[in-house]
Amino acid sequence: MEPKSSHILIVDDDEFIRDMLSARLTFWGYQLTTASGGGEALQLLQQERFDLILLDIMMPVVDGFEVLRQLKLANNSIPVVVMSAQSEQKSVIECIQLGAEDYLSKPIAKEILRARIAASLEKKYFRDAQQTWLEELNLLQQIEQELNTTLNRAEVSHLTLKWVVQKTAALAGFVGSVEGDFLRLRAVHGLKQKVGNALALATVAVDAAQRNITQTPVPENGRLHSQATHRIILPIVRNTNIHDMVVLDLPAPVPDTTIRFLRYLSTHIAIALHNAQLYADVRRANETKSNFVAMVSHELKNPLTAIQSYTYLLNHYMSQLSPEKQLEYLDIIANGAEHIHNLALELDDITQIETGQFRLKIANIAFPQVLADVLKLLDPQINERKQTIKLNIPQELPLVQADAKRLGQILTNLISNASKYTPESGRITVSARLMADELKEMLQVNVQDTGIGIAPEDKPKIFSEFFRADDPQVSKIRGTGLGLNITQKLVELQGGEIGFTSKYSSGSTFYFTIPVVAAKETAVTAVVQPVA
């Protein structure tokens, strides 16, 4: 409150002095109430809030001393300026000992009156501000302590909302985390409308929010509560990004001091939410790692059991086994060993990629050459399955920016999968075309097959580690379920994207992009020819 608009209580049994003081103080802009004696003053003090008392000392029945004593007893720290005659200097000293802030000698000179009142009020507001600040610091400390007791995001959101509602007397509100253009509600208070409605509103809030706290009249068509008049939007900012948002609908605007408090509080909330987020991430990462280890050991078990069992059979029953059986068992052992070997290679790739030790040798390379090398390697597999391979590669292609070995690995995985998951006599088509990305030209490579396709429920899992479709047509074929996961990482590491379309029982098309070297003169002629 401005000192000028302060409310002053004048207590004097002399009507003339009361009127004279009232007239002056009203003229200076103060709000006034008068009392003709100490008893009336004490009564008024119980009913109303005053910023200053001008108190006559010598009054009949209840005098100024008694008023001061009662104020002291009630622990009321309202400033009191006592008014005394020149002859009452001793009384003034006693009043000051009783807690009076200052004194005025009667007759009161106009300018001294004005100066003393102003000075007393200044001091009062300074003290009040300090007091508020101390209380806020205490409260902040209390909130921080409570926020520090949990690393659970939902709990942090609920605690946050509890405190800000308490501080602002909000009728309704919510805490939400910003996810793109939307807010995910984390905690709600007093919402009369359906949560869906609040979510729509929240989107508005995201749009409206600046990096700073705002208090505005609540929009007519978007109230969270029918009696709300004002809305506070408190963005929770970390590293200049808005991560969360507190939206509060209030019955009346809150003062600047509350806004300032909320601004301070938001930095504490940001830290608590960040810690909770980090904790959740670490837990998730731990879970992923545990699952990964469990899956690896599971994947190792089958081939190892096969190797152990068939080695035992060969060891103990060699003489009773026909040469064909012996060869068959050796084949099973070799297959098991190859499976473990492949798994080890793939795990090595994954570890290197995840620990950031994976080094790519990016160079300007001719895609058709890499494709030709891959097809030569896969030729026996494709021939054995009597599959045809069709190529649709433009004659002139610019060089691509890629690691030749890793581009070969991507192509091998996709073409080998197309062959593995396509019945005998099926067709595989590899095509390439140039396309313009937002920033640069890309080469898009498609590997299409006429195979078993991917069931709709499997589509979201296809690039996950160890995923293999639960389908006899898949389980009869050897595989680790790591190929596509690695392929995706390799494509993305080289600046491209990977995806697929598939129709169950009809076939799939896997596609990926790879950056192209911009200059025209790098164009090379396709050197790859269909194998079959």
Q: Least distance in Å: CB of 345 to ligand ADP? A: 12
Q: By three-state DSSP, how is residue 209 classified?
A: coil
Rounded to a whole number of angstroms, the minimum distance from the CB of residue 416 to ligand ADP is: 8
* Closest CB 471 distance from ligand ADP, rounded Å: 7
Which residue's CB atom is positioned nearest to ligand ADP? 479
Closest CB to ligand ADP among residues 201, 486: 486
Select 358 or 467, whichever has its Cβ closest to ligand ADP.
467
State which residue, 212 or 392, has the beta carbon closest to ligand ADP. 392
Task: Pick out residues in 496-515 that bind ligand ADP (CB under 6 A).
Answer: 508
- DSSP, collapsed to helix, strand or coil, labels residue 448 as strand
Nearer to ligand ADP (CB atom), residue 233 or residue 428: 428
In angstroms, rounded to a whole number, what is the distance separating the alpha carbons of residues 487 and 411? 9
Q: Which of 276, 341, 351 has the alpha carbon at shortest distance from 303?
A: 341
- Binder among 449, 490, 494, 498 for ligand ADP (CB under 6 A): 449
For ligand ADP, give the closer residue by CB, 279 or 463.
463
Q: Shortest distance, CB of residue 141 to ligand ADP, whole angstroms?
A: 53
Reading phi first (left if > 0) and then psi (alpha if -120 to 50, else beta), residue 405 is in: alpha
| Smaller CB separation from ligand ADP, 334 or 455 | 455
**Helix, strand, or coil (residue 473):** helix
Under rule CB under 6 A, residue 469 binds ligand ADP: yes
Nearest in space to 526 (alpha carbons), one of 447, 440, 449, 433? 433
Residue 452 binds to ligand ADP (criterion: CB under 6 A): yes
Stretch that binds ligand ADP, among 84-92, 135-143, 253-261, 451-459 (CB under 6 A): 451-459
Which range in 226-234, 268-276, 386-394, 417-425 contacts ligand ADP by CB under 6 A? 417-425
- Rounded to a whole number of angstroms, the minimum distance from the CB of residue 452 to ligand ADP is 5
Residue placing its CB nearer to ligand ADP in the complex, 20 or 474: 474
Residue 211 beta carbon to ligand ADP: minimum distance, rounded to whole angstroms: 44
Contact 264, 133 (CB under 8 A): no
Q: Applying CB under 6 A, does 467 fall inside the site for ligand ADP?
A: yes
For residue 217, count CB atoms less than 10 angstroms from its CB and return exposed for 0-12, middle for 13-18, buried for 19 or more.
exposed
Options 34-42, 94-102, 430-438, 446-454: segment touching ligand ADP (CB under 6 A): 446-454
Could you tell me the smallest distance in angstroms from the CB atom of residue 498 to ligand ADP?
A: 12
Span from 212-220, 227-235, 276-284, 448-456 in contact with ligand ADP (CB under 6 A)? 448-456
Query: For ligand ADP, which residue of 103, 174, 421, 512 counts as binding (CB under 6 A)?
Result: 421
For tokens 């990462």, name the residue: 285
For residues 391 and 430, is the Cβ–Cβ distance under 8 A?
A: yes
Among 368, 481, 496, 515, binds ligand ADP (CB under 6 A): 481
Closer residue to ligand ADP (CB): 34 or 487: 487
What pairs with residue 245 in β-bridges? 176, 235
Name the minimum Å distance from CB 361 to ligand ADP: 24
What phi and psi values does residue 183 have, to the nearest 5 degrees? -115, 135
Q: How far apart are the first and last CA of the chain?
A: 90
| d(C-alpha 409, C-alpha 406), whole Å | 5
- Kindly indicate which of the ranges 113-121, 201-209, 376-384, 449-457 contains the residues binding ligand ADP, using the contact rule CB under 6 A: 449-457
Minimum gap (Å) between residue 375 Cβ and ligand ADP: 16
Rounded distance, CA 415 to CA 448, Å?
A: 9
Q: Applying CB under 6 A, does 474 fall inside the site for ligand ADP?
A: yes
299-306 contacts at long range (C-beta below 8 A, 24 or more positions apart): 299/343, 299/466, 299/480, 299/481, 300/340, 300/343, 302/336, 303/335, 303/336, 303/337, 303/339, 303/340, 304/336, 304/340, 306/332, 306/333, 306/335, 306/336
CA 518 and chain centroid, separation? 38
Binding residue for ligand ADP, selected from 17, 484, 516, 528, defined by CB under 6 A: 484
Pairing of strands 441-449, 427-436: antiparallel
Q: What would you report as the CA-atom Rg of the chain, rounded to the nearest whole angstrom?
A: 41
Please give the residue ranges that form the binding site for ligand ADP (CB under 6 A): 413, 417-418, 421, 449, 451-454, 462, 467-469, 474, 479-485, 508
